[in-house]
Amino acid sequence: MTGPHLGTRPAAWTAAIVLSVTGSGLVGSGVAQADDIGDLTAQQIADRARDALLDAHSLHLRTHGDLGRDSTPMSLDLTLDRSGNCDGSVDLGDSQGSVRIVKRGNDVWVRPDADFWRNQVPDGGAAFAAILNGRYMKASATDPRLLTLTKACDPHTFQKLVSDNADNDAGTLNKAATTTLGTASVVPLTRMRDRTTLVLYVAATGKPYPLRLTLRGDGADATADFSAFDKPVPTSTPPPDESFDINALLGRPTETA
């Protein structure tokens, strides 16, 4: 099982929006306190928001929607930390399937749904689903067959995409008046590009974390929400009676040189 639609795709999906709003210039002056940002320019606020995001030890990431230009709508709901612990799910959209993921230390549990087996593993997927009967596949976090899944649980994947690709600052970034997002006070930053509107909502109190990113126009309609910064990932893992050894299902992975 290769999981061709997962792996870096969720991270790339969100990083694409982050970079579209914040642009280039990763070298900054450190994370400013939010009570400083009212006097900063839009780009300075965006830089500090990006720094705060990259410095976070853990976070809850929720995304949904369509980036446009023939992309497939998808969503993810993950809590993850820098140690690689993770709890959540990825939904490929359009009834293509979803996968529940739990990663703790050196172990990972994945539970694809029936749509995933049918669409992503058409040759034998139904048989695998029947054997699992709703249980998780348990494996080593380094199992090569699940690396495309476990990458979605690693914040370094997302953070590296942001760092390596921060080279597009086309379009003017504008700062709007402080407003509210739910119960949070935020400063909206807007960038117009190629008939699309990108908005970054930055916390106006506490650390200047990015709390929401939106992309609208030219076929795109996407949102990414960030929360629970530096809060622990849930520690509970599936019990043995709800788990099935991946090697018993798929055989042992082939050794590579």
Q: Is residue 102 in some structural domain?
A: yes
| CATH number of the domain to which 29 belongs | 2.50.20.20
User: Cα(138)–Cα(135) distance, rounded to whole angstroms?
Assistant: 9
Q: Is residue 1 in some structural domain?
A: no
Looking at the 3D structure of the chain, how many domains does it have?
A: 1
pLDDT at 201: 93
In this predicted model, what pLDDT tens digit does every residue of 26-84 receive, in sequence order?
A: 334 455 566 668 788 888 898 888 888 888 889 998 988 877 666 677 888 999 888 88
In this predicted model, what pLDDT tens digit does every residue of 163-190 receive, in sequence order?
A: 554 444 556 789 999 999 999 999 999 9
In this predicted model, what pLDDT tens digit does every residue of 120-143 receive, in sequence order?
A: 888 888 898 999 999 999 999 888
Q: Is residue 251 in some structural domain?
A: no
- The type of residue at 57 is H
Q: Of the candidates 146, 187, 212, 149, which has an alpha carbon nearest to the alpha carbon of residue 34? A: 187
Provide the residue range defining the domain that includes 83: 8-245
In terms of phi and psi (left: phi > 0; alpha: psi -120 to 50; beta: otherwise), the region of 53 is alpha
pLDDT at 33: 67
